[in-house]
Amino acid sequence: MELTTAYRSIWKVSIPIIIGSAAQNVVAMTDSVFLYYRSEDDFAAIGFVAAFYIIVAAVGFGFSRGGQILMALYAGKGEPRAVGRAFYSTVYFELALAGAVFLFMTFGAYWLFASLVDSDVIFYKSLEYLDTRKWGVFASYLGVACIALYTGIARPIFIVVDTFILAITNIFLDEALIFGRYGFPEMGIAGAGLASTIAEYVALGVFLVYMVVDKENRQYLSIALPKYNPVLIREIVGLSVPIVTMSVVGLGSYFFFTGLIENFGPRALAVNNIIRIAYLILSIPAWGFCTGVNTLASYFVGREERRNVKVVLWRTVFLCLGITLLMGLPIILFPREVLYPILGDERAYLIKAAYPVFWVLLGILITFSFGSIFFNGLIGAGRTRLALIYQTACALVYMLLIFVVVRSGWGNLTVAWSIEIVYWVLMFALSFRYFRRPGWRAV
C-alpha–C-alpha distance, residues 180 and 267, integer Å = 26
pLDDT band with cut points at 50, 70 and 90 for residue 246 = low
Q: What's the pTM value of the predicted model, to 2 decimals?
A: 0.70
C-alpha–C-alpha distance, residues 333 and 337, integer Å = 9
Picking from 5-14, 119-128, 171-180, 424-433, which range would have the lowest pLDDT averaged per residue?
Answer: 5-14
| Residue 137: predicted pLDDT | 92
Averaged pLDDT score across all residues of the chain: 79
**Per residue in 396-406, pLDDT tens?**
888 888 788 77
Query: Which one has a higher pLDDT value, 8 or 4?
Result: 8
pLDDT band with cut points at 50, 70 and 90 for residue 255 = low
| Residue 18: predicted pLDDT | 65
**Per residue in 300-353, pLDDT tens?**
776 766 677 777 888 888 888 888 888 878 877 777 776 666 665 556 666 777
| Residue 5: predicted pLDDT | 52
Query: Which one has a higher pLDDT value, 323 or 224?
Result: 323
C-alpha–C-alpha distance, residues 170 and 175, integer Å = 9
| Residue 355: predicted pLDDT | 76
| Residue 258: predicted pLDDT | 66
Query: Which one has a higher pLDDT value, 167 or 262?
Result: 167
If you average pLDDT over residues 157-169, what whole number do you get? 84
Q: DSSP string covering 408-420, please? A: STT--HHHHHHHH
C-alpha–C-alpha distance, residues 23 and 61, integer Å = 11
Contact (CB, 8 A) for 334 and 354: no
Q: How many CB atoms are closer than 10 A to CB 116?
A: 18
| C-alpha separations of 220 from 71, 81, 145, 364 in Å | 10, 5, 14, 40
C-alpha–C-alpha distance, residues 161 and 442, integer Å = 40
Length of the chain (residues): 443
If you average pLDDT over residues 71-92, what whole number do you get? 80
Q: Which residues contact 85 (CB under 8 A, 6 or more apart)?
A: 226, 229, 232
Query: Percent of the chain scored above 70 by pLDDT?
Result: 79
Consecutive H or E run containing 158: helix 157-179
Query: Percent of the chain scored above 90 by pLDDT?
Result: 13
Q: DSSP string covering 291-347, please? A: HHHHHHHHHHHHTT-THHHHHHHHHHHHHHHHHHHHHHHHHHH-HHHHHHHHHTTTT
Does the pLDDT of residue 13 top 70, yes or no?
A: no
Query: Which one has a higher pLDDT value, 428 or 73?
Result: 428
Q: Which residues contact 12 (CB under 8 A, 6 or more apart)?
A: none
| Residue 321: predicted pLDDT | 86
Does the pLDDT of residue 377 top 70, yes or no?
A: yes
Amino acid at 437: R
C-alpha–C-alpha distance, residues 201 and 139, integer Å = 5
Does the pLDDT of residue 23 top 70, yes or no?
A: no
Does the pLDDT of residue 412 top 60, yes or no?
A: yes
Q: How many CB atoms are closer than 10 A to CB 227?
A: 9
If you average pLDDT over residues 52-76, what whole number do you get? 80
Task: Provide Rg for the chain, Cα atoms.
Answer: 21
**Per residue in 167-207, pLDDT tens?**
889 999 999 999 999 888 899 899 999 999 999 999 999 99
pLDDT band with cut points at 50, 70 and 90 for residue 102 = very high
| Residue 218: predicted pLDDT | 75
